[in-house]
């Protein structure tokens, strides 16, 4: 369900709405701006705060039901110590959107003290993120028992004029991330490489961007044997998708955003165990992140050039599949020994990274659900970050932190490179048992255009979750949209 967001000023106590979320920090005096609302509630709001029934702690919430005029319900939400206003408002607003959606109200408002500028962006984005759900395949109950979806949310700001730009940005990033999460959540039989290509074309059409889609025949002509090896076992047409956003000066080197788009990864001949294999529909999360980021960037009209590059296929066992032991030559001329067909993401990205050279990018960031080892190392809380340029890495880590999608660096030392030295070819597509996330990144590095700063994001643990993460329900998280957007915004004029 889509959500219409707006921003307005005014007294939170005098707004006619079925629900108002009121975000408060720990400690501090009870806000004067809540005097009318508190009075309408017979003083129970200030009383709950005074008694310590509501402390304002991070993720804390308390629902109060009113009577008479003004908001029919008040949902108190904790901001914690509120030291990072952007992060704490984003989190509280996400929880507000999630709870509002669950309560079954059609409309809600969000208030926090002195909500202006950046914090309005955080609030708008949070409401958009929190209210996201995916009900396409649920048969709807009869109209009378149907819960009302949250379709409208209002951010109450202390400076509406001064926060207009921030509000628009929050909505844009929210919409981009909603697109990403939807693509992630769609099953593999619907979200195919062809579907991702159509989505890219749709984004291009709506924002007047250039989109190019290459299929199996084109990949053959471009000598992308590595990418084609992965696609050898599937009857679906693999797609190399290129989406160009030109908001910067003509001739300015673009930022390249590269995504792994495995619409299903069975492992191929090196097949995965049945348990949990269904999660491999999420193996296109990097690609979904590229599309969502470009959707957001185009809505924000950022003054920067960006090229999105996606390698999409499925990895299937069949009589035509690649086999362990096969050797292929990637489009940059390097030869690869394929020792495990389940290490397929790097084979796809090898040719996509090599292809990016023609855009002479100022920087490349790729995102891929690349290794199970990354989930073992960092769990669901941090994206694995690897690079050939530590300055760029610092820039990406800062962008990721700002977006609330923290990353953590892993070393790219020469010792690890030994592990993927080929026996009969230049390089092997797997290392040994240890350091699987790093050897995968070192494999990718071989295909990055020479001299181009590059950062690799292993989002295997952060793109989706198998359990509820408090503000985000189980399922797709939308990572790495925010990281991409914050990075590109930082590069805009």
**Residues of the shown chain interacting with Mn ion in the complex, contacts defined by CB under 5 A:** 265, 342, 344
Least separation in angstroms between residue 328's CB and Zn ion is 17
Q: Which CB, 311 or 436, lies closer to ligand BES?
A: 436
Which of 38, 121, 225, 344 touches ligand BES (CB under 6 A)?
344
Residue nearest to Mn ion (CB): 342
Q: Please give the structure tokens belonging to residue 308.
A: 């999105």
DSSP 87-135: HHHHHHHHHHHHHHHHHT-SEEEEEETT--THHHHHHHHHHHHHT----
Q: Minimum Å distance from CB 315 to ligand BES?
A: 7
**Per residue, what are the HEC states of 289-351?**
HHHHHHHHHHHHCCCCEEEEEEEEEEECCCCCCCCCCEEEECCCCCEEEECCCCCCHHHHHHH
| C-beta neighbour count of 325 within 10 angstroms | 9
Listed ranges 47-55, 103-111, 364-372, 399-407: which one lies at the site for ligand BES (CB under 6 A): 364-372
Residues touching Zn ion, count (CB under 5 A): 4
According to CB under 6 A, which one of 38, 175, 225, 265 is a site residue for ligand BES?
265
Angstrom distances, CA of residue 484 to CA of 79, 167, 323, 346, 403: 26, 19, 35, 20, 9
Q: Please state, in angstroms and rounded to a whole number, the distance separating the CA atoms of residues 229 and 342.
A: 12
Tokens 């084979």: give the residue.
347
| 436 lies in the binding site for ligand BES (CB under 6 A) | yes
Residue 220 CB coordination number (10 Å): 12
CA dihedral sign of residues 357, 361, 362, 368? negative
Q: Are 331 and 280 in contact (CB under 8 A)?
A: no
> Which of residues 372 and 490 has its CB atom nearest to ligand BES in the complex?
372
**Min. distance of Cβ 343 from ligand BES in angstroms?**
4
- Could you say which residues in the range 75-94 bind Zn ion, by CB under 5 A? none
Output the smallest distance, CB 430 to Mn ion, in A.
11
Q: Which H helix or E strand runs over 465? A: strand 464-465
Of 102, 103, 253, 375, the residue at the interface with ligand BES (CB under 6 A) is 375
Q: How far is the CB of 282 from ligand BES (least distance, A)?
A: 7
The residues, ordered by sequence, that sit 6+ positions from 327 with a Cβ below 8 Å of its Cβ are 335, 336, 337, 338, 424, 425
Tell me the C-alpha distance between 131 and 110, whole Å.
13
Nearer to ligand BES, 89 or 463 (CB): 463
Choose between 305 and 371: whose C-beta lies nearer to ligand BES.
Answer: 371
Residues between 280 and 309 that touch ligand BES (CB under 6 A): 283
Position 369 contacts ligand BES (CB under 6 A): yes
Q: How far is the CB of 49 from ligand BES (least distance, A)?
A: 43
CA distances for 111 relative to 90, 96, 350, angstroms: 12, 10, 47
Q: Among residue numbers 231 through 290, which ones bind Zn ion (CB under 5 A)?
A: 262, 265, 283
Selected binder of ligand BES within 26, 61, 236, 340 (CB under 6 A): 340
Q: Which of 238, 308, 345, 407 binds ligand BES (CB under 6 A)?
A: 345
Give me the residue label for tokens 């599937």: 234
Nearer CB in complex with Zn ion: 48/348: 348
Distance separating alpha carbons of residues 411 and 386, to the nearest angstrom: 7
Q: How far apart are CA 102 and CA 106, in angstroms?
A: 10
Question: Out of Mn ion, Zn ion, ligand BES, none, which partner does residue 372 contact, by CB within 5 to 8 A per kind?
Answer: ligand BES
Among 108, 93, 75, 102, CA closest to 167: 93
375 binds, among Zn ion, Mn ion, ligand BES, none (CB under 5 to 8 A by kind): ligand BES
Task: By CB under 6 A, tell whether 371 contacts ligand BES.
Answer: yes
Q: State which residue, 299 or 428, has the beta carbon closest to Mn ion.
A: 428
Residues 135-164 that bind ligand BES (CB under 6 A): none
- Residue 81 CB, nearest approach to ligand BES (Å): 34
Between residues 38 and 283, which has the closer beta carbon with respect to Zn ion? 283
384 touching ligand BES, by CB under 6 A: no
Positive or negative, the Cα torsion across 131, 175, 183, 146?
Answer: positive
Task: Identify the residue whose tokens are 């070192």.
Answer: 442
Note whether 405 and 483 are within 8 A (CB): yes
Site for Zn ion (CB under 5 A): which residue of 248, 345, 361, 436?
345
Helix (H) or strand (E) holding 255: strand 255-265
Could you list the active site residues?
272, 346
Residue 451: how many other CB atoms lie within 10 Å: 7
Q: By CB under 6 A, what part of segment 449-478 binds ligand BES? A: 460
The nearer residue to ligand BES, 10 or 432, going by C-beta atoms, is 432
Closest CA to 179 of 301, 284, 320, 25: 284
Give the C-alpha separation, 213 to 241, whole Å.
Answer: 5
- Edge-to-edge order in the sheet of strand 335-338: 326-329, 335-338, 427-428
Q: Which of ligand BES, Mn ion, Zn ion, none does residue 20 bind to, with CB < 5 to 8 Å depending on kind?
A: none
Could you tell which of ligand BES, Zn ion, Mn ion, none binds residue 49, using a CB distance below 5 to 8 A set by kind? none
Nearer to Zn ion, 345 or 478 (CB): 345
Determine if 329 is a binding residue for ligand BES (CB under 6 A).
Answer: no
Stretch that binds Zn ion, among 160-168, 209-217, 223-231, 337-345 (CB under 5 A): 337-345
Chain residues that interact with ligand BES, rule: CB under 6 A: 265, 283, 340, 342-345, 369-373, 375, 430, 436, 460
Chain residues that interact with Zn ion, rule: CB under 5 A: 262, 265, 283, 345
């Amino acid at each position: 369900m889509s959500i219409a967001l707006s921003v307005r000023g005014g007294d939170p106590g005098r707004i006619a709405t079925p629900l108002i979320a009121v975000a408060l920090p720990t400690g501090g005096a009870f806000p004067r701006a809540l005097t009318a609302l508190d009075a309408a509630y017979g003083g129970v709001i200030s009383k709950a705060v005074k008694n310590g029934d509501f402390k304002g702690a991070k993720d804390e919430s308390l629902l109060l039901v009113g009577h008479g005029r003004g908001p029919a319900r008040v949902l108190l939400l904790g901001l914690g110590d509120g030291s990072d206003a952007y992060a704490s408002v984003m989190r509280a607003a996400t929880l507000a959107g999630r709870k509002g959606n669950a309560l079954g109200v059609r409309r809600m408002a969000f208030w926090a003290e002195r909500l202006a500028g950046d914090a309005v962006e955080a609030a708008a984005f949070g409401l958009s993120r929190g209210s996201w759900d995916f009900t396409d395949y649920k048969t709807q109950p009869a109209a009378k028992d149907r819960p009302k979806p949250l379709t409208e949310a209002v951010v109450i700001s202390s400076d509406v004029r001064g926060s207009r730009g921030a509000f628009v940005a929050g909505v844009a990033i929210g919409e981009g991330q909603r697109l990403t999460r939807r693509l992630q959540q769609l099953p593999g039989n619907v979200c195919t490489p062809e579907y991702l290509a159509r989505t890219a074309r749709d984004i291009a059409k709506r924002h007047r961007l250039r989109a190019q889609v290459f299929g199996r025949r084109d990949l053959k002509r471009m000598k992308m044997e590595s990418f084609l090896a992965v696609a050898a076992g599937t009857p679906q047409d693999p797609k190399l998708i290129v989406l160009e956003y030109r908001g910067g000066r003509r001739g300015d080197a673009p930022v390249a955003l590269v995504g792994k788009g495995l619409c299903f990864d069975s492992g191929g001949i090196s097949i995965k165990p049945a348990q949990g294999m269904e999660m491999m529909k999420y193996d296109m999360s990097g690609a979904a992140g590229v599309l969502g980021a470009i959707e957001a960037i185009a809505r924000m009209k950022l003054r920067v050039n960006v090229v999105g590059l996606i390698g999409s296929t499925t990895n299937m066992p069949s009589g035509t599949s690649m086999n362990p032991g096969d050797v292929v030559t990637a489009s940059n001329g390097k030869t690869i020994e394929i020792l495990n067909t389940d290490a397929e993401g790097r084979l796809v990205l090898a040719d996509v990274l090599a292809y990016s050279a023609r855009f002479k990018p100022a920087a490349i960031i790729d995102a891929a659900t690349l290794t199970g080892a990354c989930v073992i190392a960092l769990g669901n809380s941090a994206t694995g970050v690897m690079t050939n340029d530590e300055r760029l890495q610092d820039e990406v880590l800062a962008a990721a932190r700002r977006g609330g999608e923290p990353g953590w660096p892993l070393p790219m030392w020469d010792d690890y490179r030994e592990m993927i030295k080929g026996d009969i070819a230049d390089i092997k597509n797997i290392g040994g048992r240890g350091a699987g996330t790093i050897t995968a990144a070192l494999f990718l590095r071989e295909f990055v255009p020479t001299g181009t700063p590059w950062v690799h994001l292993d989002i295997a643990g952060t793109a989706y979750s198998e359990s509820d993460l408090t503000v985000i329900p189980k399922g797709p998280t939308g990572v790495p949209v925010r990281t991409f957007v914050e990075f590109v915004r930082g590069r805009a004029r």
